[in-house]
Amino acid sequence: MINQKIIEKGKLSIKVDSKVVSHLSIGLYKNFSRAIKELVSNAYDAEATEIKINLDFKSKKLIIKDNGKGMDKIDIENKLLTIGKTTPRTGASIGLGRKRIGQFGVGFLAVFPYCKTIRIVSKKAGEENAIEVIIKVSEYYQDNSWVLNNNIENIDYKICPSLLPKKQGETIVLLENIEDRTITQMKEYEKEGCGSIERFGWLEKTKWELSQYLPLQFPESYKELKDFFYLKNRIPLRVWFDGEELFRNVPEGANNKRSEIIEKGEQKFGNIILKYTILSPFTSIRPQEARGFQIRLNDVGIGLPTDFDVIKLKGRMLGKLNYFTGEIHIVEGLNNDLMLDRDGFYYTEEVSKIYEFFRDKLTKWDHEFQNTAKEDKAIYETLEKLPNQEKIIQDLKSVGIIKFDKTNLRIPKAPIVRKDKKEIVTLSKKISDIASKKGFTIEKKRSIRNIDENPIEIDKEQKKVIIHEEHPSLFEKIRVNNKEFSVKYDQWNITTKIDPICKLDIQKKTVVFNKNHPIFNIALDNTIIMEFVIGFQFIAKEEKISISAMQKIYRLFEKMF
C-alpha cells in the first residue's frame, strides 16, 4: 500500500472525553468478537463496501482490510484518536444510502485489551499519500485497567507515497501480538451439545456474532426476507472472514429444519416506525441465543435477540417460546435513545409500547402453535398403524397441513381407560377437517387403489387435497386371534340382535362397526372395545353361545366400564 519514502513523521496522542472513562472501566465490550465488530462498524461508516478479515495464528495477527474512503492525518487525529468526541447522532446519512452506525466514538478502544500493538495504514480517496500509525497498547491498557492520559504524544506516525490509484481509498488495521490468553481461546474447538454459542469454537462463535450484529445481506435462500427489509438506494456491505463470505443469520431448528415466515408487518409507535418478521422452524431454534426478536437500528443488531420478558410480565408459561425468532427493524426513530454499549434502548413510553406489542405477538403465536400441535398430534395418532405412514406424513408436511415433527409432540401410547373420549372419526375425516382449516379444498374419491399407490394426493397449485377413501391403507387395522381385519365404520339402528355392534366378515377379513352403539360410550379405549367384540364373536361361534347370553355379557361389560 505504501513505499518506503517518508514524506513526514512524528508523534500523535489519544484524546479521551472524561465522561467516557467511567464507562470503559466497567468493561464496555465483553469479548474479542464484539471488539472486531466495532472495527467493522467503523469501516461501514467509512463507506466501505467490502471488508476482509484474516487471522494468522502463527504470527499472532488479525488483519482487517476495507475499501472505504480512508483517512488522512487530520482524520486520524480528529476521528480515530479523539475518543468521545461529539459526532452526528446515529442515523445521520453518510453516503451510499447508509445511516451512521457509530455515535459515541469509543468503538476503536474495544480491541485494546486483546493485543499489544495496533498498526493502522490508511489512504484517503483523492489523495496520493498514505499514513501509518503504530499504537503501543500497553501504554493505554494494562493489568485489566485503562491508563488514558490526554495529550501525551507517544503514538508514532509516518506519511509515505501510496501505491494505490489516487481515487481509491483503503484502510488496514493490524492487531499484532495478540494476547496469549486470547490465542488460547481462539484455538478452542466446538464442544459437544452445541445448543448455545458459548459451546461453539471461537472462530465459529465469532462468525456467528458478526453475522448477527453487522448490516449484512440475507442469504439468497431467504429472498422473501431480503426483499421485505430491502433499503432502497443503499449499497450493501460484504464481509469475508478467512475467505468465507458472511451473511445475515437466519436461525434454523434442530436437524437444520428451515425457518418459515409466519407473520410480517409494519407498525408505528408515536414517531417510531418499524418493520418486523416472525419466523419459526416449528421446532426448537438453535442456538438458543437466536430465540426471540433481533432488534436492529440502521440495520445493525442491538444486543442479542430478546423475548421482552414475556413469561415474567404476562404471568403465564409459553410452551412454544423456544420455537420463535424474528427481526425488528427500526425504520425511523430511537436514534437518541440508544445506550452507550449499543446493547439496548432507554426505557421510554414508546419503547414500552413496542415491547408490549411484541409480548402480545409471542403470546398469540404460542396459543396458535399449541392448537396446531394438537391437530398434528391427532393426525400422527391416527396414522400410527398405517403401513405407509411416512410417505403420507411427508406429503402432508410438504403443503403445511402437518407442521410439527412427531418427535416434538410426545405422543403417548393409547391408554386402556380414556375418560375424555370423543366421537369416532375416520382418518379421512380428520385429514379433511384439518386441511380445510388450512385453506385446502377437499376432493374425496371412492376409486379402488392399489396398496402401492398413494392414498392422498396434493395439488399445490390449486391448494387441493384428493383423498382416495377406499385405499387399503386408510382403513384401520386390528389384529385378533392372529388374524388382521380392516376396520370400517357405519351407523344403523339398534335392534334386539347382536349384530348392531359390528358386522364381521371372516372371509374378506373386514369388520364394520356401528359407531353409534352405546358400547363405545364406556371409558375403555375404542381399540380395546373392538378387540373384545371381535374376539368374543369368535368364541361365541366356536362355543355356540346363544344370542341372549351374548347380550347379557355385553350389558355386563358396559356396566363394568
User: Which pLDDT value is given to residue 229?
Assistant: 94
Indicate the CATH number of 250-365 among 3.30.230, 3.30.1560, 1.10.101, 3.40.50.
3.30.230
The CA-CA-CA angle for residues 321, 323, 328, to 5°, reads: 85
Under DSSP, the state recorded for 408 is: G
Q: How far apart are CA 51 and CA 69, in angstroms?
A: 12
Q: Which residues pair with 15 in a beta bridge?
A: 82
Q: How far apart are CA 181 and CA 189, in angstroms?
A: 15
Q: Which residues contact 546 (CB under 8 A, 6 or more apart)?
A: none
pTM of the model: 0.80
Q: Which residues contact 495 (CB under 8 A, 6 or more apart)?
A: none
Q: How far apart are CA 553 and CA 117, in angstroms?
A: 93
Indicate the CATH number of 8-213 among 1.10.150, 3.40.50, 3.30.565, 3.30.70.
3.30.565
Answer yes or no: are the C-beta atoms of 443 and 463 closer than 8 Å: no
Chain mean position to CA 78: 41
Q: How far apart are CA 51 and CA 247, in angstroms?
A: 13
Answer yes or no: are the C-beta atoms of 172 and 1 closer than 8 Å: yes
349-383 vs 427-437: helix crossing angle, rounded to 10: 160
Q: What's the helix, strand, coil split of the chain in %, to 5?
A: 35, 25, 40
Answer yes or no: are the C-beta atoms of 262 and 294 closer than 8 Å: no
Q: Parallel, antiparallel, or unpaired for β 260-269 and 272-280?
A: antiparallel
Q: Grid coordinates representing 354?
A: 413496542
Distances (CA, A) of 46 to 68, 69, 158, 188, 560: 5, 6, 21, 33, 83
Q: How far apart are CA 313 and CA 345, in angstroms?
A: 18
Domain regions of the chain by residue span: 8-213, 250-365, 384-474, 479-561
Q: Grid coordinates representing 333?
A: 426513530
Q: How far apart are CA 279 and CA 263, in angstroms?
A: 7
Answer yes or no: are the C-beta atoms of 22 and 341 closer than 8 Å: no
Question: Residue type at 390?
Answer: E
Q: How many residues does the chain have?
A: 561
Q: Grid coordinates representing 524?
A: 375403555
Q: Grid coordinates representing 304?
A: 442479542
389-398 vs 349-383: helix crossing angle, rounded to 10: 150
Q: Grid coordinates representing 540?
A: 361365541
Q: Which residues contact 391 (CB under 8 A, 6 or more apart)?
A: 454
At residue 181, φ and ψ (nearest 5 deg) are: -65, -35
H helix and E strand count, the chain: 12, 29
Q: How far apart are CA 13 and CA 55, in angstroms?
A: 28
Question: Residue type at 331?
Answer: V
Distances (CA, A) of 291 to 67, 252, 283, 352, 370: 34, 10, 11, 20, 18
Answer yes or no: are the C-beta atoms of 69 and 125 closer than 8 Å: yes
- How much is the CA Rg of the chain, to the nearest whole Å? 34
- Nearest CA among 138, 141, 132, 136 for reference residue 154: 136
Question: What are the DSSP E strand ranges found in 114-168?
Answer: 115-123, 129-136, 141-142, 145-146, 155-161
Q: Quick check: helix, strand or coil at residue 35?
A: helix
Written as tens digits, the pLDDT of the chain (561 aa) is: 666 788 999 999 888 776 665 555 445 556 788 788 888 888 998 999 999 999 998 899 999 999 999 999 999 998 888 877 655 555 567 778 787 776 556 677 788 888 999 999 999 999 999 999 999 988 888 777 777 666 678 899 999 999 999 999 999 999 999 888 888 887 777 666 668 888 888 888 889 999 999 999 999 999 999 999 988 888 889 999 999 999 999 998 877 889 999 999 999 999 999 999 999 999 999 999 999 999 999 888 988 899 999 988 887 788 899 999 999 999 998 888 777 667 778 888 999 999 999 999 999 999 999 999 988 988 888 777 666 778 888 888 888 889 999 888 877 766 777 666 777 777 788 888 888 888 899 998 887 767 777 788 888 888 898 888 888 777 788 888 888 888 888 888 876 555 578 888 888 889 999 988 888 888 888 888 899 989 888 888 888 888 788 878 887 877 776
Question: What are the DSSP E strand ranges found in 137-289?
Answer: 141-142, 145-146, 155-161, 170-178, 238-241, 244-246, 252-253, 260-269, 272-280, 285-286
Q: Grid coordinates representing 388?
A: 405407509
Task: Write out the DSSP string of 363-396.
Answer: HHHHHHHHHHHHHHHHHHHHHTT-TTHHHHHHHH
The helix (run of H) or strand (run of E) holding residue 98 is strand 98-99
Question: Residue type at 523?
Answer: A
